[in-house]
Homo-oligomer: A and B are copies of this chain.
Amino acid sequence: MSKKIEVCLTPALIDLYDIEESIVVVIDILRATSSITYGIDNGAEAIIPVANVEDCLAYADKGFLLAAERNGEVVAGYDFGNSPFSYTKEKIGGKTVVLTTTNGTKALHLAQKRAYQVVIGSFLNLDSLCDYLKAQNKNVLLLCAGWKDQFNLEDTLFAGAVVENLRKSFEHYDDSSVAAEDLYALAKADLRKYLHKSSHSHRLAQLNIEEDVVFCLQLNICKTIPVLEGEKLVRLKP
């Protein structure tokens, strides 16, 4: 079978794609899918993505860790925020974490409605993810979570990194795959420097999360692929 890879630049465009027989890779580099990858890799039992702080509250008193931020600050009474540095073995090993992430949760839920499978991508697990996708006999849609339904650079760059890796194993490039791959080729020598041009990055700079950004742009420090099962993201069994 000739397998197809496509890039959906924002969740607002997902209805344009046939994904019933596809693996959808959800991408929200700063910071949801990076923190999820790191957390599952560090032994979290599960991570439950929710869209907002109110949804997170519904999970209080269940023994879960609650992660919620507003304007870059941990919400009072919550265990931690969205920084990947909170997702270490010591903090989340064996635990279930409820993570508040607007763009990432929206993308995950939209994909889950129709896709064959929904997995999580980030620079942290790039090669493991690509090896997995190559080994499956399925089409792939790379779904950028974007920012409030808008295109963003960091998610597109990661999609481009995947396209670059998979180009020999997949066919039928769409225009957005071509663009993503070319942008990644421009940026990959210094992803952080490239992202300084980004509006989202400027916004993030104001939130004082520079260390998180640098962390999220590391390649292949994790081998785990989180997969969505029901409402929970868990480790994909090899």
A12: interface (CB < 8 Å): yes
A199 touches B173 (CB 8 A): yes
A164: interface (CB < 8 Å): no
B16 touches A13 (CB 8 A): no
Could you list which residues of chain A lie within 8 angstroms of chain B, going by C-beta atoms? 9-10, 12-13, 16, 147-153, 156, 172-176, 178-179, 182-183, 186, 197-200
Residue among A9, A152, A175, A183 with max Cβ neighbours from chain B (10 Å): A175
A173 touches B197 (CB 8 A): yes
Q: Given A10-B13, A13-B12, A179-B156, A174 and B186 touching (CB < 8 A)?
A: no
For residue A153, which residues in chain B have a CB less than 8 angstroms away from its CB?
Answer: 175, 178-179
Q: Given A172-B199, A173-B197, A175-B199, A13 and B150 touching (CB < 8 A)?
A: yes
B175 touches A200 (CB 8 A): yes
A103 to chain B, nearest CB (A): 13
Contact of A150 among B150, B176, B197 (CB under 8 A): B176
For residue A178, which residues in chain B have a CB less than 8 angstroms away from its CB?
Answer: 153, 197-199
Chain multiplicity (copies): 2
A174 touches B150 (CB 8 A): yes
The 5 closest A-B pairs by CB, nearest first: A151-B176, A153-B175, A152-B175, A178-B197, A174-B199
With A153-B175, A173-B197 given, can you name 5 additional A-B contacts, CB distance below 8 Å? A13-B151, A16-B149, A151-B175, A178-B198, A179-B179
**Cα–Cα distance between A176 and B174 once the two chains are bound (Å):** 17
A12 touches B12 (CB 8 A): yes
**Cα–Cα distance between A148 and B176 once the two chains are bound (Å):** 13
A224 to chain B, nearest CB (A): 28
A19 to chain B, nearest CB (A): 14
For residue A175, which residues in chain B have a CB less than 8 angstroms away from its CB?
Answer: 147, 150-153, 156, 198-200
Complex A-B: 18 CB contacts under 8 Å: A12-B16, A13-B13, A13-B149, A13-B151, A16-B148, A16-B149, A150-B175, A150-B176, A152-B175, A153-B175, A156-B175, A175-B198, A175-B199, A175-B200, A179-B179, A179-B183, A182-B186, A183-B183
